[in-house]
A = this chain, B = another copy of it.
């Protein structure tokens, strides 16, 4: 099977990821392993941001020389692929027999949590469809929630992709703000002030109207509220076609 993959022209990174699953251990003792490298890289990216992750810094944290890393990863891009396969962990177990909406909501919330804990996943662009074991496991978990809904296969897939896209988009903005200088409360106060200053009725009439109704006061509350609202609308929409099918 692995051979077949090579024939098809699977990228090196994916071959390694799937090989790993097939033949679990059987390695000689070695101080530097891919697992350790990837785990440490994730640590750095989580705490200091993806921009602070350099091969030199990573090696220093591992107590090794920079170039030694290249025994285990082909280059930095491959390291990032390994990182984004490992970081999400295992998806929540969704009961295929349970309520589809509750299941999908759990799934979406877990996914958002992953993105908020590892915001750099949203920044590194895979440039290819999800084919690593990690991503497929998450897709499978999402589909589990919809398995008894009567939707056909392509609809089920389209539905979880829609939810995933929404979660991804929201998380990216949310994570971007959380990790910046705009996170603290005082600066958010300033944001409201600036908004009221810049949004005038003649320039942005509809924005001004919403602002006068207190839209931006609302926005200052827990950002989870905005996320839940959008998610609920998406689930409403999915429910709409489930009822009709």
Contact = CB atoms under 8 A, between A and B. Distances in A.
Interface of A: 1, 4-5, 8-10, 18, 96, 122-123, 125-129, 131, 136-137, 139-141, 143-144, 147, 152-159, 161-162, 164-170, 172-173, 176-177, 179-182, 190-191, 193-195, 197-199, 203-207, 209-216, 218-219, 226, 229-230, 232-238, 240-241
Contacts of A237: 232-238, 240
Given A168-B172, A180-B128, A233 B162 contact: yes
18 contacts: A4-B197, A8-B193, A125-B176, A128-B177, A136-B198, A137-B204, A153-B212, A153-B213, A157-B218, A161-B230, A162-B233, A165-B170, A166-B234, A168-B173, A232-B237, A233-B234, A233-B241, A237-B238
Nearest to A172: B168
Contact of A209 (B131, B153, B236): B153
A173 B127 CA distance: 8
A99 B188 CA distance: 34
A139 B195 CA distance: 13
Contact of A140 (B154, B190, B205): B205
Interface of A is mostly: helix
B140 A204 contact: yes
A119 B129 CA distance: 17
Contact of A129 (B140, B158, B191, B241): B191
